[in-house]
Structure 1
Amino acid sequence: MMATQLNWNELQHERKWEMLLKQKRFALWALYSSIGSMMLGFDFGVAGTATAFPAFQKQFGISFPSQPSGYLVPAKYQSGWFGASVAGDIIGNVIAGQLLELIGRKHVIAVGSLISSVGIVLQVESSEWRLFLAGRLVGAIGYGAVYLESPVWIGENSRPELRGFFLCLVNGSIVFGQFLLSLIAQATSKIDGKWSYQTIIVFQFFFVVLLMVVYPFYPESPYYLLKKGKPEQARQALNRIHGPGDQVLIDAEMSRINIAIASSEEIQQVISKESPLFFQCWQGTNLKRTIIAILPIAGQQLLGAAFVLGYVTYFLSLIGVTKYFTVSVVLYVVMLLSNLSAFFFVEVAGRRTLLIPGVIILTMFLLLMGIMGCIHTDGAMWFSVVCIFIWAIVYQLTIGAVGFAFGSEISHLPLRPTVQSIIGITQGGVGWVIGFVTPYMINPDAGNLGAKVGFVFFGLGVPLCIVFYFLIPETRGLSFDEMDYLFNNNVSCRHFQSAIKTQREKTDAMFDVNVEDKSSKTDSAAVTHQLETCATGSV
């Protein structure tokens, strides 16, 4: 009965909580789609966590008497493993960016799962660092491909009112994967021998099995099917996603997606008939949108995500924390709870409101951690741990959760899969640089900076705060058409909300509509204005 009270043909941001309760089936499919993100999060920390195991140090390391185990994995090995993993993620993103359009969203999951299985086998069978490196590379190609499917599928099929909620699943799943890793590592740390670390490698098969069991039933993206001229299959997919009980919702979604496709294709033809999609991402107003889309993802790495999320267990052992596995489990529990809180705040507080204060606070706590690294006392050591915990809480509430959602919604509609691929490449590229140098900064056989590594990330964070202030817009409650209107009219990123409020008022006066008709009328006017703008060459 409640379903008939919602007018699915209109944008109703004020009723998003009510809509969320009616989207349970969509939420389950979005969660399945996010398993690739869990795999990525788990794999991201495998090498760094395994390095903390004495058995792993003995197998892959060199003699180093000052270490408790008597062995140390050289920084060059760790950098090589991390670099191979990130390179694999980038390759997987590039491949998936093409396959998403060639074979569809659904089948990318199968391709990525099979590739990742090969990588897992290579890591399990490795007894020296080169074969382990090859396994890291191959496995990451599969993880990168499966991961990229999730934000694309969710972003193009979720209701605009709920887009931020569901896109938060991407980062939430990454954090959950890291939490599982820390939990399993804590349990296996009591095992003697190679299975102490090999268990966490073998566990990755759990994600592959889960993906492949559900894969035959997973609905292809209705957006993709309609774009390929398959309306009957798209309707079947929508029935599977939302359930056949509310055909008013199915009709509304068919109409909404068709309008989005028609609008994007018409704009696409006006902008360029020959230029490849990749190059269009760097032309006209799309250049600004692409830069904005990759900023939060690059910012995550520049503020120390690769360090905290990839090496925290090993780092804690280096600075003198005795129960480093237990502390890392607690840290990931805290991050998981913080990320769940972001699910609420991303639509209530907004994107800009979370991102700008977030990067400022993160930068300040990195400075404090660096200062504590200069003081050689137990109190300073534990204060550094506290700084890491506070950093993790703020990170997951702000740039960690919002970064993925923000990047997925800011791009121009026809370019979304391509921009998502660029986001993945950026995340991998910047992450590779940070992850590659981190072992050299913290390892006893190299920089041995300890908590002073906070100074490095503080130095990167200061200019980031300035860039965020000027380039991060508030996109909460905006439709894709409204964002097109704002970018095409060169509205300052700091004034998006006030500008769209004025535009909505003008549209209301022009069409003489009631308040409840505002969203749909504004979208129509925005599309018309955008097409006119494109036709005059203002893009």
Structure 2
Amino acid sequence: MGAEGKNMAISDSAAPGKDAWKDALKSHPRALLWCSYALLTCVMWGYDGLAGSIVLAIAQFRKDYGQEFEGKFVIPAIWQLAFGAGGLIGLVGGGAVTGVAAKKWGRQICIMVAYVFSVVGVFLQWFSPGNLPLFFGGKVLTGLPLGVFVTIAPTYCAEIAPAALRGAVTAGVNWSIVLGQCLAYVVMRQTQSLPGPNAYRILFGVQWIFAAISLAILPFFVESPYHLVAQGKDDKARVNIRKLYGDNTNAEGMLASIKADLDNANQTLRAASFRDCFRGTNTQRTLIAMSTFVVQAVCGISWIIGYMAYFLILGGMSDARAFDATVGLSFIMLVGNMFGWVLIERFGRRGTALWGAVILTLTLFMIGVMSILPVAGALWAQVAFMAVWSFTYQATIGSVAWPIITEVSTSALRGHTQSLATITNGLAGAVSGVLLPFAVNPDQGNMGGRIAFIYGGFLSLCCILIWMYYPETKGRSFAEIDRLFEMGVRPREFRTTVLLPAKDAKGAA
């Protein structure tokens, strides 16, 4: 008999509630506020990650750092590659270190050190006009904290958010990233016409404000009870449970539930290692988590978000109109991401990912078709389809990756799995970072919108991967998800597999 037809006894998790959305919002405001703080760090991730790309669209930056080509200043493709690589080196390095450092020293220390690197990195960029190596060094240093933030925020939110809001809150990581991107576009739009280096270096200096706000709040940070229990600090975990969920919370019951979740993983964070992520059923779970960022990369995210303004300017659009188009698209993405909160909880993680990938594939092919049609208005038609792409991406693939990663990973390895996913994100971005400058630069491939055909082809293959291997984890406790993987249930049959309570399963036996 196939595993999908079995019933399995399981003790349901009692972690913050099976509350409805409204009840969860009313019952756990402090936990949600600390989730918001974690998400604030991801605003900086989105801001810095985009600022390093859109700065190429600022004429003064191209003049100070670039070289003249056919009457226009162009940043050499090799240095564009270096800028992207610098940030990605930091992202991968930060993500790799955080998985171990957060386990040993806790998230508070990791966040503090990350902001120190960020402040120093922005300092180097601020004083680097015309100095390409110094600017590159600043990109590496600001990339390191991005790896820290994007590793800590989703795991922390998944562990302390009310169960009824877990998907929406972890998807909020992407909303925060998009908000940071929106802010970067707005700052660029307001400063790009300033005289001299201030036209672009204010874009980087704004990050000091993020750091100041976050560091002022950091001393009051409430560590996740999951992390504390895994470290054997039950008394501190009990105190933090009351800080997060109120004095009337059944702290002992919640503490027992957390221990049960960790016991179900058959290990503790103190004993866990990256090697454990590729043992037994953890291999499948880790590969699913890592693949989500590969899917994001082949959607064309680096091209449409990072090179949008640059692409439109090279296509003949004025600087002002190109900037306006990118600002408009960024806010479309922000709204799309909020739709994603609803889609994830209504249609589930698997359905949102699958149908989102299908729609994005079709949209990319339409962008490619518009790029080869020799008709007036073709460029604006591409912009229109990019708007459709932007909304759909943020409402589906962009949002759903975060709850998938935090839910498919076992409790004891959640931090390690998120680190591996972050590394994968950096490596996938590195591939795009290497190829894009040579594909779109006028002195290189000059592909323009035709590059959408390549992304569409790869994404069509990802649609098959999602259908075959992505499970539905909506409404499941962490313990239930553990049991489904242990049973060998095929991912596409998670939703229909029935797990009986322990007493019912014993009777059925």
TM over 0.5: yes
* 2:161 equivalent to 1:163: no
* Aligned counterpart, 1:25: 30
CA distance in 2, matches of 1:10, 1:50: 44
Tell me: CA distance 1:13–1:221, structure 2 relative to 1, closer, same or farther (3 Å).
Answer: closer
CA distance in 2, matches of 1:311, 1:97: 31
* Aligned counterpart, 1:477: 475
- Percent of matched pairs sharing the same residue: 30
Contact map agreement 1:41 1:174 (CA 8 A) in 2? yes
CA distance in 1, matches of 2:365, 2:290: 25
* Aligned counterpart, 2:5: none
Deviation at 1:146, TM superposition (A): 2.6
Tell me: CA distance 1:173–1:445, structure 2 relative to 1, closer, same or farther (3 Å).
Answer: same
Alignment map for 1:121-132 (pairs within 5 Å): 121-127=123-129, 128-132=131-135
* Aligned counterpart, 1:516: none
Contact map agreement 2:168 2:344 (CA 8 A) in 1? yes
User: Which AA in structure 1 matches 2:103?
Assistant: E
Deviation larger for 197-206 or 28-37? 28-37
* Aligned counterpart, 1:437: 435
CA distance in 2, matches of 1:340, 1:148: 22
Deviation larger for 130-139 or 185-194? 185-194
1:253-274 Cα offsets, whole Å, 9 max, x none, are 333223223433xx128xx998
CA distance in 2, matches of 1:243, 1:447: 59
Deviation at 1:10, TM superposition (A): 7.6
User: Which AA in structure 1 matches 2:29?
Assistant: K
1:226-248 Cα offsets, whole Å, 9 max, x none, are 2222223223222332343x334
Which structure has more relative contact order (CA 8 Å, sep 6+)? It is 2
- The one of 287, 302, 307 equivalent to 1:306 is 302
Deviation at 1:511, TM superposition (A): 5.9
CA distance in 1, matches of 2:135, 2:274: 34
Tell me: CA distance 1:254–1:390, structure 2 relative to 1, closer, same or farther (3 Å).
Answer: same
Contact map agreement 2:13 2:478 (CA 8 A) in 1? no
User: Which AA in structure 2 matches 1:424?
Assistant: T
* Aligned counterpart, 1:340: 338
* 2:283 equivalent to 1:287: yes
Secondary structure of the 2:400 match is: helix
- The one of 41, 44, 49 equivalent to 2:46 is 41
Secondary structure of the 1:63 match is: strand
* 2:314 equivalent to 1:318: yes
User: Which AA in structure 2 matches 1:259?
Assistant: A
Deviation larger for 212-221 or 278-287? 278-287
Deviation larger for 10-19 or 460-469? 10-19
* Aligned counterpart, 1:399: 397
User: Which AA in structure 2 matches 1:372?
Assistant: M
CA distance in 2, matches of 1:15, 1:512: 30
Tell me: CA distance 1:10–1:136, structure 2 relative to 1, closer, same or farther (3 Å).
Answer: closer
1:374-430 Cα offsets, whole Å, 9 max, x none, are 123332111111111111111011010001111111011211111110000000001
Tell me: CA distance 1:286–1:247, structure 2 relative to 1, closer, same or farther (3 Å).
Answer: closer
- The one of 265, 270, 278 equivalent to 2:274 is 278
* Aligned counterpart, 1:106: 108
1:178-228 Cα offsets, whole Å, 9 max, x none, are 010011111112322211111111001111111100000111222122222
RMSD: 2.2
Secondary structure of the 1:281 match is: helix
Contact map agreement 2:292 2:401 (CA 8 A) in 1? yes
CA distance in 1, matches of 2:379, 2:132: 32
Secondary structure of the 1:350 match is: helix
Secondary structure of the 2:278 match is: coil
Alignment map for 1:23-422 (pairs within 5 Å): 23-67=28-72, 71-127=73-129, 128-244=131-247, 246-248=248-250, 250-264=251-265, 267-268=266-267, 277-322=273-318, 323-422=321-420
User: Which AA in structure 2 matches 1:204?
Assistant: Q
- TM-score by structure 1 length? 0.87
Contact map agreement 2:44 2:177 (CA 8 A) in 1? yes
User: Which AA in structure 2 matches 1:34?
Assistant: L
Secondary structure of the 2:209 match is: helix
Contact map agreement 2:337 2:394 (CA 8 A) in 1? yes
Deviation at 1:153, TM superposition (A): 1.1
CA distance in 2, matches of 1:466, 1:9: 35
Q: How many residues align?
A: 495
Secondary structure of the 2:354 match is: helix
Deviation at 1:507, TM superposition (A): 5.2
User: Which AA in structure 2 matches 1:188?
Assistant: T
- TM-score by structure 2 length? 0.92
Deviation larger for 171-180 or 38-47? 38-47
Contact map agreement 2:15 2:258 (CA 8 A) in 1? no
Tell me: CA distance 1:381–1:508, structure 2 relative to 1, closer, same or farther (3 Å).
Answer: farther
CA distance in 2, matches of 1:324, 1:255: 56
* Aligned counterpart, 2:8: none
Tell me: CA distance 1:231–1:509, structure 2 relative to 1, closer, same or farther (3 Å).
Answer: closer
Contact map agreement 1:307 1:435 (CA 8 A) in 2? no
CA distance in 2, matches of 1:36, 1:131: 25
CA distance in 2, matches of 1:149, 1:313: 31
CA distance in 2, matches of 1:45, 1:252: 44
User: Which AA in structure 1 matches 2:343?
Assistant: F
Contact map agreement 1:84 1:133 (CA 8 A) in 2? yes
| Unmatched tracts of structure 1, length 5 or more | 1-6, 514-524, 526-539
CA distance in 2, matches of 1:384, 1:465: 23
User: Which AA in structure 2 matches 1:308?
Assistant: I
CA distance in 2, matches of 1:454, 1:66: 28
Deviation at 1:75, TM superposition (A): 1.4
Deviation at 1:283, TM superposition (A): 1.8
1:406-456 Cα offsets, whole Å, 9 max, x none, are 111101121111111000000000111112211111111111111111011
1:490-530 Cα offsets, whole Å, 9 max, x none, are 1111111111x2x33x85644679xxxxxxxxxxx9xxxxx
Secondary structure of the 1:201 match is: helix
| Unmatched tracts of structure 2, length 5 or more | 1-11
Secondary structure of the 1:154 match is: helix
Contact map agreement 2:17 2:162 (CA 8 A) in 1? no
Contact map agreement 1:85 1:137 (CA 8 A) in 2? yes
Deviation at 1:14, TM superposition (A): 6.6
